[in-house]
Amino acid sequence: MPILNLQITQSHPYSFVFCVICVIFFNLVSFLLHPLRNLCYLRHISFLSIFAPLCFTFVESEPSALYLLYMHHWIKLFENQSEFENFIQLNTFVVFELRGEKICITRTPKGFYAVQDRCPHNGASLSRGMCSSNNEIVCPLHRYSFDLESGKQTSGGAFALRTYPISIKNEGVFVGIKAKWWEA
């Protein structure tokens, strides 16, 4: 069961002022660029007046972050850190399927990491690969390697891996899966 510990709060006190400034600025620019098209000017006013305030809703746990960009479903994997460390041995992989996504979790000397299990190059399961000494995961199919911390490819010509945050608290060990825009 996903744990949502984020609560929507009221907008930041300066967000209204910023919205008004943005609306005035963008309307002035659109009017100056299109002086003969007053209908375009009116269309920009209505669009910005409606949607600008929606961009400044903040989250209580991360007051400096925009709400839709940083909302995660925190899913509890283990009751405590020692259980987590005993289950995932050093330089081994364990695959969990959480909310329809296969997530490969590994433990290296530098810490715990969670990345997508599927290689972005050709779709091979990264859990069948290996960890390198450079804190990288290596695909078993074509030996492409990816940095475990950032997900960026370090060799080969593939896209970056999706990474997932791991949170170790007194209540347990959690993995964060980014919420879809319609779940917000």
Read off the pLDDT of residues 6-55 as tens digits, 9 standing for 90 and up.
Answer: 333 344 444 556 656 756 776 666 666 655 554 444 444 444 444 444 44
- Per-residue model confidence (pLDDT) at position 179: 82
Q: Which has more confidence, 68 or 165?
A: 165
79-91 pLDDT, tens digit each: 999 999 999 999 8
- Tokens linked to 140: 């078993």
Write down the mean pLDDT value for the chain. Answer: 74
Residues 106 and 91: beta-carbon distance below 8 Å: yes
Structure tokens at 181: 């825009």
To the nearest 10°, report the CA torsion of 168, 173, 179, 183: -120
CA torsion, ordered 150, 152, 154, 158, to nearest 10 deg: 160
Give the three-class secondary structure for 63.
coil
pLDDT, residue 135, reads 92
Give residue-wise pLDDT tens across range 127-159: 999 998 899 999 999 899 999 999 999 987 878
Residue among 163, 147, 164, 158 nearest 120 (CA):
158
Task: Supply the pLDDT for residue 46.
Answer: 45
Contact 122, 115 (CB under 8 A): no
173: confidence class by pLDDT, cuts 50, 70, 90: very high
